[in-house]
């Protein structure tokens, strides 16, 4: 465990990942309760369930400053951006922007450096 507190850019990444997780949950609940399709809850669970799980794991991993959180955040934000672009159009910009932020050299080096220490 890291004794010092997280740097500012890691705190920003963790906070933004938590916001993306909440966004995926809200859009999942809206899509599931829309009721336009006969099995909308089951269909939305198949589409949004794995994405939400990746986002939750990424939030916890980024909060603990672990490399698995960074890798999961890359996968989760890529999946969330794809799903949200197809289901809720403009909201897909948020996970895509966070994906770009996670690839900034200072953020990337922080999580990769912690893996090798």
pLDDT, tens digit (0-9, with 9 covering 90-100), for 28-77: 888 777 766 666 677 778 888 899 999 999 999 999 989 999 999 999 99
Determine the angle formed by the axes of helices 40-63 and 67-87, rounding to 10 degrees.
150
Enclosing domain of residue 21: 8-116
53 is a domain residue: yes
Cα 73–Cα 87–Cα 79 angle in degrees, nearest 5: 20
98 is a domain residue: yes
56 is a domain residue: yes
76 is a domain residue: yes
The number of folded domains in the chain is 1
Chain-wide mean pLDDT for the chain? Answer: 86
27 is a domain residue: yes
């Amino acid at each position: 465990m890291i004794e010092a507190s997280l740097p500012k850019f890691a705190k920003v990444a963790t906070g933004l990942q938590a916001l993306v997780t909440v966004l995926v949950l809200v859009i999942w609940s809206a899509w599931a309760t829309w009721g336009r399709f006969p099995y909308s809850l089951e269909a939305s669970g198949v589409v949004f369930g794995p994405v939400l799980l990746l986002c939750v794991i990424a939030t916890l991993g980024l909060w603990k400053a672990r490399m698995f959180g960074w890798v999961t955040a890359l996968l989760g934000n890529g999946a969330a951006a794809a799903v949200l672009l197809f289901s809720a159009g403009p909201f897909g910009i948020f996970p895509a922007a966070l994906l770009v932020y996670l690839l900034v050299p200072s953020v990337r080096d922080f999580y990769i450096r912690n893996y090798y220490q």
